[in-house]
Amino acid sequence: MPADNTHHPFRAENDDPVLTWRRYACPPDPMRGEFFRDYTRILHSRAFRRLRNKTQVFVMPYNDHICTRIEHTLLVCSVAKTICDNLGLNTDLATAIALGHDIGHAPFGHFGEECLKKVLPGFSHEKHSLLLADRLNSEKSYEHPGLNLTFAVRDGIACHYGEGSEQSMQPDRKKTFKDLDIWANLEDKGRPMPVTLEGCVVRMADRIAYIGRDLEDYLQLPDAEQSVPEEAKALGQSNREILGNLVADVIETSRNHGDSIGMSDGNFAKLKSLYRFSNDRIYRHPYVRKYFDRIDRAIPRLVEYIRVIIEDWQKKGVCEAHPKADLWDHRKVLADFLTDDVREWQQGKPLKLAIWFVAGMTDTYFVRTFNEVFVPEGL
């Protein structure tokens, strides 16, 4: 299917003053457009690097061929780019949103997110991804906090919600950056639509990218239920076929539908059938859930431990990590996080700061820190 070189009538333009607005003004880049500039900022961020050791579905897999959060992110980029190429939409914007959409995911995937939500109601990876982009992933060379991304990319990251089930989506073009800031501070975050059609593409691409890939991983299990519903099988026998069929359908369905992105009735019904199978068979499989009880106990315990340290440091007015500590010593990493990323940490609520710190951990660093704190070592 050749790319459509004609610009879509509702395409986001690289010089749109509203969509390219940044909280902190910066001179234009002679080599890159504003949205591609955001793509590279996310690509080089520490939050993006950490995705390689964060759970997608299977917790801390030893099998290198099992999908992790960074592979899922790259798959979303690929799907979004293909759809945008063929519809004449802005691929730089879509790939920037896709690359950053999960940077705020907690360790241990969606279950880790649910554990953090028990401690801090209202926590979500969408909101935390926006928080990381806006504040908690600062480079020391920047004079401002965060990555200072454009409004359109920030909005797309915050509104990606890949667990939804909409057959078609239309952007909320009345939204402003002030509306986004208000939403980010609400405990009940709701499910707002992105401000751009490219943001809607990423929201659709997110669910397309994971459904077949999760099935592919699941079918590697020795006791996997092989009886995938016939309706779902019609989408394809492999992740490659499922992706190809769904992407082609979204392109064909959306090509002449103006300011919306959608899927045909037939393929949407097949996709819902596969979602039901995934929820009943994959995400509830004992191998997926085998560590959930331990994670449910470990996350609040480590959060509370970190909270006490921060509260103590706030009373003393200084982070007391040893300057010559090992590079990965949790107190040193915590001190660097507070002083470099939070900056005004002394005025923050200790529990919220502890949640932010733990949410940024990879699966492997969480386990390392937990063992360092709670597991005794022999002499």
Tell me if 5 is assigned to some domain: no
Q: Do 111 and 256 reside in the same domain of the chain?
A: yes
Q: Do 155 and 241 reside in the same domain of the chain?
A: yes
Tell me the C-alpha distance between 219 and 277, whole Å: 12
In terms of average pLDDT, the best of 271-280, 338-347, 349-358 is 349-358
Provide the strand spans (E) within 134-178: 168-169
* DSSP-derived secondary structure letter, 51: G
Confidence of residue 188 (pLDDT cuts 50, 70, 90): low
Percent of the chain with pLDDT over 70: 94
Confidence of residue 216 (pLDDT cuts 50, 70, 90): confident
Tell me the C-alpha distance between 119 and 121, whole Å: 6
Q: Do 160 and 281 reside in the same domain of the chain?
A: yes
Tell me the C-alpha distance between 32 and 36, whole Å: 6
Residue 168 sits at φ, ψ, to 5 deg, of -145, 155
Q: Do 284 and 299 reside in the same domain of the chain?
A: no
Per-residue pLDDT at 195: 96
Residue 255: both structure tokens together: 């090509």
User: 3-state class of 169 per DSSP?
Assistant: strand
Confidence of residue 2 (pLDDT cuts 50, 70, 90): very low
Per-residue pLDDT at 190: 64
Confidence of residue 5 (pLDDT cuts 50, 70, 90): low
Helix (H) or strand (E) holding 312: helix 292-316
User: 3-state class of 42 per DSSP?
Assistant: helix
**Residue 252: how many CB atoms within 10 A of its CB?**
14
Name the residue with higher pLDDT: 69 or 343.
69
Tell me if 210 is assigned to some domain: yes
Q: Do 314 and 269 reside in the same domain of the chain?
A: no
For residues 345-355, average pLDDT? 95
Q: Do 154 and 194 reside in the same domain of the chain?
A: yes
* The last residue of a domain, from among 288, 314, 329: 288
**CA nearest neighbour of 25 among 140, 130, 144:** 144
- In angstroms, the first-to-last Cα distance of the chain is 65
- Longest CA–CA span in the chain (Å) reads 71
Confidence of residue 189 (pLDDT cuts 50, 70, 90): low
Helix (H) or strand (E) holding 116: helix 109-119
Tell me the C-alpha distance between 169 and 207, whole Å: 13
Q: Do 199 and 324 reside in the same domain of the chain?
A: no
User: 3-state class of 50 per DSSP?
Assistant: helix
Per-residue pLDDT at 73: 97
Provide the strand spans (E) within the chain: 168-169, 261-262
Q: Do 358 and 220 reside in the same domain of the chain?
A: no
Tell me if 170 is assigned to some domain: yes
Tell me if 112 is assigned to some domain: yes
For residues 48-60, average pLDDT? 91
Instruction: Note the pLDDT tens digit of each residue in 15-28.
Output: 999 999 999 988 98
Tell me the C-alpha distance between 310 and 133, whole Å: 23
For residues 187-191, average pLDDT? 68
Residue 70: both structure tokens together: 């960074």
Per-residue pLDDT at 111: 94
What is the reported pTM? Answer: 0.94
Tell me if 9 is assigned to some domain: no
Q: Do 305 and 358 reside in the same domain of the chain?
A: yes
Instruction: Note the pLDDT tens digit of each residue in 289-335.
Output: 989 999 999 999 999 999 999 999 999 999 988 766 777 789 999 99
Residue pair 127/137 in contact (Cβ under 8 Å)? The answer is: no
Tell me if 22 is assigned to some domain: no
Tell me the C-alpha distance between 195 and 361, whole Å: 30
Tell me the C-alpha distance between 59 and 363, whole Å: 8
**Angle between the 69-87 and 91-100 helix axes, to the nearest 10 degrees?**
160
CA 342 from centre of chain: 20
| pLDDT of residue 225 exceeding 80 | no
User: 3-state class of 111 per DSSP?
Assistant: helix
* The last residue of a domain, from among 258, 288, 318: 288
Residue pair 321/329 in contact (Cβ under 8 Å)? The answer is: yes
Q: Do 204 and 193 reside in the same domain of the chain?
A: yes
Tell me the C-alpha distance between 170 and 166, whole Å: 10
Which CATH number belongs to the domain containing residue 90 in this structure? 1.10.3210.10
Q: Do 251 and 347 reside in the same domain of the chain?
A: no
Domain that holds residue 307: 291-374
* The last residue of a domain, from among 288, 308, 325: 288
Tell me the C-alpha distance between 153 and 43, whole Å: 13
Residue 169 sits at φ, ψ, to 5 deg, of -135, 145
Tell me if 17 is assigned to some domain: no
Tell me if 25 is assigned to some domain: no
Confidence of residue 227 (pLDDT cuts 50, 70, 90): low
User: 3-state class of 68 per DSSP?
Assistant: strand
- In the chain, the number of structural domains is 2
User: 3-state class of 59 per DSSP?
Assistant: coil
Tell me the C-alpha distance between 31 and 58, whole Å: 40
Confidence of residue 131 (pLDDT cuts 50, 70, 90): very high
| pLDDT of residue 210 exceeding 50 | yes
Q: Do 168 and 191 reside in the same domain of the chain?
A: yes
